[in-house]
């Protein structure tokens, strides 16, 4: 890694690694010679003959040949296929790079050397095995682009190509993973692995193993993002706690930096001062922030201050449509669906005054280091890996092989210039851009954040310079912007998004232009492959003619000029930006403009440089160029790289503990999913649990002192004990408990539990019992593993305090983590046995029978209610008729009344026909509608949101929905449905077409008392905070400064080092206040 002074061991190790480069390159040259010797022979083959070579290779593999033996011929075939489909032929150096990848190395290839095309060679060769090849990219755009673009070569040769994109359904993913070669991002591959280990049926698994992976931009994925564990979470928050996020978001702006709290930007941490603690206690009305009841508030306070000082809008995140979206610090892209954990995201939401979403509980997690070490063979390519060669070798066992360039690089890298103020820097940048733009030279201007890119864009608009902006807010136009960035007079302002995976060609990108023209005609390589291929050659020829003329003009103007407005904390990121220029021998130029206000300079060495510039009386608009500046920048980057390396090592050390535990749990889980006969395993589990109960009751004292009553009480809660305690003592010990031995007692109880298990199986049936065993083990294992992850997180949060007692935190974490893991395994066994004996189980047939009975009862009640209502209506109508008749009789002397009375009396005396029917009356209110009396668990009236049947299978859940009674209004169909009847959409819907209920997974059961599988739409995927020690709270920070060796007096409000939990000022620090 960087920095010889900081890493003497790394320097020595790097020299040892480089010592073998010559030998590897000689081997790669021999392979390239062998491939090139087959060029003429392969070129003579027809398209059909070329495709037939794939089947031939597969047959030879099946007969015992190795991939290494097939390599020259396979590479020659791919080279020819690429020439025919893409119009691009692999250079010799690309063949060398492909061979290095196949051999499990990292190929370091400069920008524009064709890494994407190089990756096709090992992907095809290893795809012949049928075990699956994963090509890993840094974002969805590149995954989709490469799958379509390079997929044309693979499809031409008869291999299938898939792509994994965010938002795809499991059935789609399963189909893509079944392909010979699958493209996708590191996050999608990692999350699919975790989701597979949360599945409840084998049919729900999407991945099919980890055979071979080619990682594009390998240093970004395996180094930069290795600090970020992948975390799948489920809802587990208390909305009532949201008020504390809001409360501390109110307090944070009025708290003063360096008075109430201190900030270490280099380590990305905050620490509360004594004054800050007292201020918060006064504001929220508590006496002691550090007493047990108030300790949860500390994390709210820390997160609010971090949100204020370390997380800035349009830098670490953006706000879009009322939602806080994370921006990747290395790529500048939005991480859709990802959230900071540990309450950090909620604190930012409170700060931005958007809706605060619930905090989640970790369900599954893995670091990228441990995920990629699952692959049998791993390789990668990048333009900047040599500086990290030692770490890549130590962590992943990967060697770095520098591949020569196809043509000499002639780019001119100018020295950095530094200004005193940011305003002066931007003024100089605008002047430089304007001058070169007038000459027609294309420019790529790199910025460190979305915010800075927009500031620079406004300045360019003020000068009337037409330009494009590429950042996280308009990433959808990325392909178009990059394709035009090398054209005459083009000005492109970009964040780090333009630093990786992009190829800026002078004069424009002919492949992109041809592809864009074909897509405008409705053709695509995936949708209409035959028509697309037929039209490709002519479209590409026209695009090349268009680009060729402009290429000459751009070359005369000096090629692409890369202007960096700020140094990144990693030299590799700077080199990636510079590497956009000077591809394939093209001319180019690069320079960085800096200021003392830049983040990197402010965090490291800024005060020293500012003091020097002030002493020398350097004007604000006067730049300086000197070796001292270069050394200061190198020193600052080295310090950051050193910190990041330590963080990655720290993350890996702690995750190694969890990784060993995760491997055990996931292996046991996979046995269950693979359908292995669990009967023997479960019987052994039963024996082990009962034996443990007996051992616990008999390990102390003599036999007459054993508390057998307590043992029987515990066992009865576990299973239906059939042994009578007194009868057992009479039978095996002649009525004397003192003569009873532990072995005899254990043997008798084991026989009894075996009897109970056989009776349980006989009552349920063998098939149902096997399914119950499977369901119970999965449910209990998942729940206990979730609880264990939470406990391990809690342990990790406070493990640094062990350093106060001169103990190694990692060793303590390993020891206590092991004890917790063994306790979890015991808990899994005990709970599983208890559930197997005590859960209420209903088969599908029993559910249907109960549903029919409930439905019939509901219909009978509805009919009886309707008939009773009709009888009441008739009685009231009869009484009314009699009253009317009496009134008519009393009014008989009136001569005109009899003529009008008969029609009225007739209308009142005879009820309408419709009211006499048992159906719900249209006008009579007392008669209830038939749907109302039905005791359905869910309401039948329409609701705004789509209604799903509550117990429906989720992601292959083997549970059939419990049948609900269906009201008459919904059963009678369209013919009898009234104007306000419930719509058909409310009826239980069948599973979606791409989410089939797996077949062959055992009988469908309803098991009361087990956890249901987590719905996929309730899961979230989070990125932890970027802190060096993300779980180190202000309390831990204060505790670290407490007196341990007698060299420093603790802060009065810090917890006392004695461990009492009290403040130092009221514990051992009390005398010091006198």
Residue 959 has pLDDT above 60, yes or no: no
* Range of weakest confidence among 170-179, 435-444, 474-483, 899-908: 899-908
113 is in an annotated binding site: yes
pLDDT score of 390: 82
> Per the CATH hierarchy, to which homologous superfamily does domain 412-625 belong?
P-loop containing nucleotide triphosphate hydrolases (3.40.50.300)
Show the tokens assigned to 635: 């020193």
> By C-alpha distance, which of 135, 193, 165 is closest to 366?
193
pLDDT score of 322: 85
Between 1058 and 152, name the one with better pLDDT: 152
Proportion of the chain above pLDDT 90, given as a percent: 28
158 is in an annotated binding site: no
pTM here?
Answer: 0.68
Categorise residue 337: left if φ over 0, alpha if ψ from -120 to 50, beta otherwise.
Answer: left
Average pLDDT over residues 1018-1033: 43
Average pLDDT over residues 278-303: 84
pLDDT tens figures, 449-473: 888 888 999 999 999 999 988 876 6
pLDDT score of 188: 92
Model confidence at 847, pLDDT cuts 50, 70, 90, reads low
Which residues lie below 8 Å from residue 144, measured CB to CB, with a gap of 6+?
163, 165, 183
**Residue 313: DSSP 8-state:** B
> By C-alpha distance, which of 426, 409, 404 is closest to 417?
426
pLDDT score of 182: 97
Residue 122 has pLDDT above 90, yes or no: yes
d(CA 295, CA 1061): 10
d(CA 484, CA 464): 19
d(CA 104, CA 102): 5
Residue whose tokens read 């005109």:
896
> By C-alpha distance, which of 468, 493, 491, 472 is closest to 481?
468
d(CA 1016, CA 952): 13
**Residue 957: DSSP 8-state:** -
Model confidence at 868, pLDDT cuts 50, 70, 90, reads confident
599 is in an annotated binding site: no
d(CA 231, CA 225): 13
Scored b (16 or more CB within 10 A) or e, 829-846 reads bbbbbbbbbebebbbbee
> By C-alpha distance, which of 259, 262, 254, 346 is closest to 307?
346
* Range of weakest confidence among 857-861, 895-899, 1037-1041: 1037-1041
* Range of weakest confidence among 207-216, 723-732, 925-934: 925-934
Beta strands in 791-910 (DSSP E): 840-843
pLDDT tens figures, 428-438: 999 999 999 99
pLDDT score of 680: 85
Could you tell me where the DSSP H helices lie in 491-605?
510-520, 529-556, 571-578, 599-603
* Range of weakest confidence among 131-145, 156-170, 954-968: 954-968
pLDDT score of 945: 38
CA separation (Å) from 590 to 155, 412, 600, 913?
40, 6, 19, 93
The answer to whether residues 468 and 492 touch, using CB atoms and an 8 Å cutoff, is: yes
pLDDT score of 1045: 29
The answer to whether residues 937 and 964 touch, using CB atoms and an 8 Å cutoff, is: yes
> By C-alpha distance, which of 707, 775, 962, 952 is closest to 850?
962
112 is in an annotated binding site: yes
* Range of weakest confidence among 255-264, 377-386, 882-891: 882-891
Average pLDDT over residues 1057-1068: 52
58 is in an annotated binding site: no
* Range of weakest confidence among 63-77, 285-299, 912-926: 912-926
Same CATH topology for 8-229+371-402 and 412-625?
yes
d(CA 86, CA 490): 27
116 is in an annotated binding site: yes
pLDDT score of 806: 84
CA 288 to chain centre: 38
Which residues lie below 8 Å from residue 988, measured CB to CB, with a gap of 6+?
949, 952, 961, 964
Residue 971 has pLDDT above 50, yes or no: no
3 is in an annotated binding site: no
The answer to whether residues 629 and 416 touch, using CB atoms and an 8 Å cutoff, is: yes
d(CA 596, CA 1056): 41
d(CA 83, CA 152): 11
Residue 76 has pLDDT above 90, yes or no: yes
Residue 106 has pLDDT above 90, yes or no: yes
Q: Measure CA of the first residue to CA of the last residue in the chain; give whole Å.
A: 52
pLDDT score of 874: 72
The answer to whether residues 101 and 24 touch, using CB atoms and an 8 Å cutoff, is: no
* Range of weakest confidence among 214-223, 617-626, 791-800: 617-626
pLDDT score of 445: 92
- Counting DSSP H helices and E strands in the chain, the numbers are 38, 23
Give the highest mean pLDDT range of 29-33, 533-537, 921-925. 29-33
Average pLDDT over residues 361-366: 84
Residue 149 has pLDDT above 60, yes or no: yes
d(CA 723, CA 703): 18
Show the tokens assigned to 85: 């489909």
pLDDT score of 1014: 55
* Range of weakest confidence among 126-140, 235-249, 861-875, 970-984: 970-984
Q: Domain extents for the chain?
A: 8-229+371-402, 238-358, 412-625
The answer to whether residues 101 and 214 touch, using CB atoms and an 8 Å cutoff, is: yes
User: 238-358, what's its fold?
Assistant: Pre-protein croslinking domain of SecA (3.90.1440)
Residue 131 has pLDDT above 80, yes or no: yes
User: Mean of the per-residue pLDDT values for the chain?
Assistant: 77
Residue 150 has pLDDT above 90, yes or no: yes
Query: What's the sign of the alpha-carbon dihedral 674, 679, 682, 687?
Result: negative
Average pLDDT over residues 472-495: 78
Average pLDDT over residues 153-176: 93
CA 412 to chain centre: 41
How would DSSP label each residue in 314-361? TTTEEEETTEEEEB-TTT--B-TT---TTTHHHHHHHHHTSPPPPPEE
Task: Count the alpha carbons within 13 Å of 539 in the hemisphere toward its beta carbon.
Answer: 22
Residue 970 has pLDDT above 90, yes or no: no
Average pLDDT over residues 165-192: 93
User: 8-229+371-402, what's its fold?
Assistant: Rossmann fold (3.40.50)
Average pLDDT over residues 182-202: 92
pLDDT tens figures, 898-957: 444 333 333 333 333 333 333 333 333 433 343 333 333 333 333 333 333 333 333 333
Residue 616 has pLDDT above 70, yes or no: no
Categorise residue 806: left if φ over 0, alpha if ψ from -120 to 50, beta otherwise.
Answer: left
* Range of weakest confidence among 528-532, 863-867, 911-915: 911-915
Residue 1 has pLDDT above 70, yes or no: no
Residue 765 has pLDDT above 60, yes or no: yes
d(CA 368, CA 45): 43
């Amino acid at each position: 890694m960087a920095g010889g002074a900081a890493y003497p061991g790394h320097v020595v190790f790097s020299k040892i690694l480089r010592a073998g480069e010559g030998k590897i390159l000689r081997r790669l040259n021999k392979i390239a010679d062998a491939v090139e010797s087959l060029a003429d022979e392969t070129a003579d083959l027809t398209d059909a003959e070329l495709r037939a070579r794939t089947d031939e290779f597969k047959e030879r593999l099946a007969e015992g040949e190795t991939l290494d033996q097939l390599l020259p011929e396979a590479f020659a075939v791919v080279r020819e296929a690429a020439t025919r489909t893409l119009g691009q032929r692999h250079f010799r150096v690309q063949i060398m790079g492909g061979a290095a990848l196949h051999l499990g190395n990292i190929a370091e290839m400069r920008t524009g050397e064709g890494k994407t095309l190089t990756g096709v060679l090992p992907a095809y060769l290893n795809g012949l095995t049928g075990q699956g090849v994963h090509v890993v990219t840094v974002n969805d755009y590149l995954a989709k682009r490469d799958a379509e673009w390079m997929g044309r070569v693979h499809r031409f040769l008869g291999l299938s190509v898939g792509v994994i994109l965010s938002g795809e359904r499991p059935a789609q993913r399963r189909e893509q993973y079944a392909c010979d070669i699958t493209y996708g991002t590191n996050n999608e591959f990692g999350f699919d692995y975790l989701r597979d280990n949360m599945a409840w049926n084998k049919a729900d698994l999407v991945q099919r193993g980890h055979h071979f992976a080619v990682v594009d931009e390998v240093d970004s994925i395996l180094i930069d993002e290795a600090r970020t564990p992948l975390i799948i979470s489920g809802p587990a928050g208390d909305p009532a706690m949201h008020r504390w996020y809001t409360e501390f978001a109110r307090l944070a702006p009025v708290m003063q930096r360096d008075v109430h709290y201190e900030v270490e930007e280099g380590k990305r941490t905050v620490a509360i001062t004594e004054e800050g603690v007292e201020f918060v206690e006064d504001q929220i009305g508590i006496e002691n922030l550090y007493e047990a009841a108030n300790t949860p508030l500390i994390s709210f306070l820390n997160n609010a201050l971090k949100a204020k000082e370390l997380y800035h809008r349009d830098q670490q995140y953006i706000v879009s449509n009322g939602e806080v979206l994370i921006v990747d610090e290395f790529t500048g892209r939005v991480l859709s669906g990802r959230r900071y954990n540990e309450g950090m995201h909620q604190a930012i939401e409170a700060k931005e005054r958007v809706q605060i979403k619930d905090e989640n509980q970790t369900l599954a997690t893995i670091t990228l280091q441990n995920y990629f070490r699952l692959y049998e063979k791993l390789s990668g390519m990048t333009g900047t890996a040599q500086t990290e060669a030692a770490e890549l070798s130590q962590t992943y066992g990967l060697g770095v092989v520098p591949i020569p360039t196809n043509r000499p690089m002639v780019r001119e890298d100018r020295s950095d210039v530094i200004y005193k103020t940011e305003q002066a820097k931007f003024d100089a940048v605008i002047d430089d851009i304007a001058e070169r733009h007038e000459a027609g030279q294309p420019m790529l201007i790199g910025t460190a954040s979305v915010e800075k890119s927009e500031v620079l864009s406004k300045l360019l608009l003020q000068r009337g310079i037409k330009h494009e902006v590429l950042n996280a807010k308009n990433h959808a136009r990325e392909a178009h912007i990059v394709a035009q960035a090398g054209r005459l007079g083009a000005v492109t302002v970009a964040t780090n998004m333009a630093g990786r995976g992009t190829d800026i060609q002078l004069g424009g990108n002919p492949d992109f232009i041809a592809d864009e023209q074909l897509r405008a005609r409705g053709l695509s390589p995936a949708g209409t492959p035959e028509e697309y291929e037929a039209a490709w050659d002519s479209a590409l020829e026209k695009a090349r003619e268009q680009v060729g003329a402009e290429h000459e003009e751009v070359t005369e103007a000096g090629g692409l000029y890369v202007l960096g407005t700020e140094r990144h904390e990693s030299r590799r990121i700077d080199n990636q930006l510079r590497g956009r220029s000077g591809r394939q021998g093209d001319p180019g130029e690069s320079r960085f403009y800096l200021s003392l206000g830049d983040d990197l300079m402010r965090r490291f060495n800024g005060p020293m440089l500012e003091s020097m510039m002030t002493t020398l009386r350097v004007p604000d608009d006067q730049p300086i160029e000197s070796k001292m500046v270069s050394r200061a920048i190198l020193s600052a980057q080295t310090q950051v790289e050193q910190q990041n390396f330590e963080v990655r090592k720290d993350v890996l050390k702690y995750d190694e503990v969890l990784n060993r535990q995760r491997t055990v749990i996931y292996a046991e889980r996979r046995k269950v999913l693979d359908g292995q006969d669990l009967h023997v395993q479960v019987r052994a589990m039963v024996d082990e649990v009962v034996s443990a109960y007996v051992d616990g009751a008999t390990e102390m004292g003599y036999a007459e002192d054993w508390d057998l009553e307590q043992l029987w009480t515990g066992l009865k809660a576990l299973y239906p004990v059939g042994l009578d305690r007194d009868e057992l003592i009479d039978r095996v010990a002649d009525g004397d408990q003192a003569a009873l031995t532990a072995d005899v007692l254990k043997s008798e109880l084991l026989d009894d539990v075996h009897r109970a298990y056989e009776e349980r199986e006989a009552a349920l049936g063998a098939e149902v019992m096997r399914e119950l065993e499977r369901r119970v083990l999965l449910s209990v294992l998942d729940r206990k593993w979730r609880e264990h992850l939470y406990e391990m997180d809690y342990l990790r949060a406070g493990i640094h305090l062990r350093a106060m007692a001169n103990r190694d935190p990692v060793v303590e974490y390993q020891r206590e983590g092991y004890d917790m893991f063994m306790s979890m395994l015991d808990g899994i066994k005990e709970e599983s046995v208890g559930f197997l004996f005590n859960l209420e189980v209903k088969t599908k047939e029993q559910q249907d029978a109960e549903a029919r009975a409930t439905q019939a009862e509901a219909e009978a009640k509805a009919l009886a209610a309707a008939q009773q209502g009709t009888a009441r209506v008739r009685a009231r109508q009869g009484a009314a008729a009699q009253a009317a008749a009496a009134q008519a009789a009393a009014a008989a002397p009136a001569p005109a009344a009899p003529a009008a009375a008969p029609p009225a009396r007739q209308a009142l005396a005879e009820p309408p026909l419709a009211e006499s029917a048992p159906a719900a009356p249209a006008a009579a209110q007392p008669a209830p509608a038939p749907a109302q009396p039905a005791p359905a668990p869910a309401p039948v009236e329409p609701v705004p949101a789509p209604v799903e049947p509550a117990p429906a299978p989720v992601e292959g859940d083997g549970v059939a929905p419990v049948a609900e009674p269906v009201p008459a209004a919904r059963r009678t169909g369209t013919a009898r449905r009234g104007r306000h009847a419930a719509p058909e959409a409310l009826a239980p819907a069948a599973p979606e077409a791409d989410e089939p209920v797996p077949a062959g997974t055992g009988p469908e059961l309803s098991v009361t008392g087990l956890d249901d599988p987590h719905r996929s739409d309730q899961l979230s995927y989070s990125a932890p905070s970027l802190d060096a020690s993300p779980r180190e709270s202000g309390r831990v920070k204060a505790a670290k400064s407490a007196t341990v060796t007698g060299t420093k007096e603790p802060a009065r409000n810090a917890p006392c080092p004695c461990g009492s939990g009290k403040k130092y000022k009221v514990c051992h620090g009390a005398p010091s206040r006198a």
